[in-house]
Amino acid sequence: MSTSGLTEDFWTAVGRRELVRPVCGDCGRNFFTPQVACPACLSENWTYETSDGRGRVYSATVVHKPPSPGFAVPFRLGIVDLDEGWSMLAELVGGPGERLPAIDAPVHVTWIEREGRVLPAFTEDIS
């Protein structure tokens, strides 16, 4: 499978604002980013399944240097541990006071547009 083939279905799902992740058909492991083989058992028998998009902040930081020209800074970036047992790096948006969420704060997926492209992001749950 080519690299673009690996991620094409992910981005297609994102385009309809659906978050998906690879789930191994042999050992059941959830993983991300998409890879040819399951990182736990090396099986290539995995499929994308829909995530409920709920998780907790594993780490969070503020980015002050734009990743490309025209990108608005600062923005908040975090690693989110999804409830299904996988994690992803994404922008953190909204939330109380637009501040950096606490480690382990509960978050859920939301959708943002950056440079004309829809991207998954996470926002803090209102408690």
Binding residues for Zn ion, per CB under 5 A? 24, 26-27, 29, 38, 40-41, 43
Least distance in angstroms from the C-beta of 40 to Zn ion:
4
Least distance in angstroms from the C-beta of 116 to Zn ion:
36
CB closer to Zn ion, 49 vs 98: 49
Query: Which amino acid type is present at position 90?
Result: A
CB closer to Zn ion, 24 vs 109: 24
Interacting residues of 98 by C-beta distance below 8 A, sequence separation 6+:
none
CB closer to Zn ion, 3 vs 45: 45
Least distance in angstroms from the C-beta of 52 to Zn ion:
21
- Please report, in angstroms and rounded to a whole number, the separation of the first and last CA atoms in the chain: 43
Distance CA 114, CA 127 (A): 28
Asked if 63 contacts 75 with a C-beta cutoff of 8 angstroms, the reply is yes
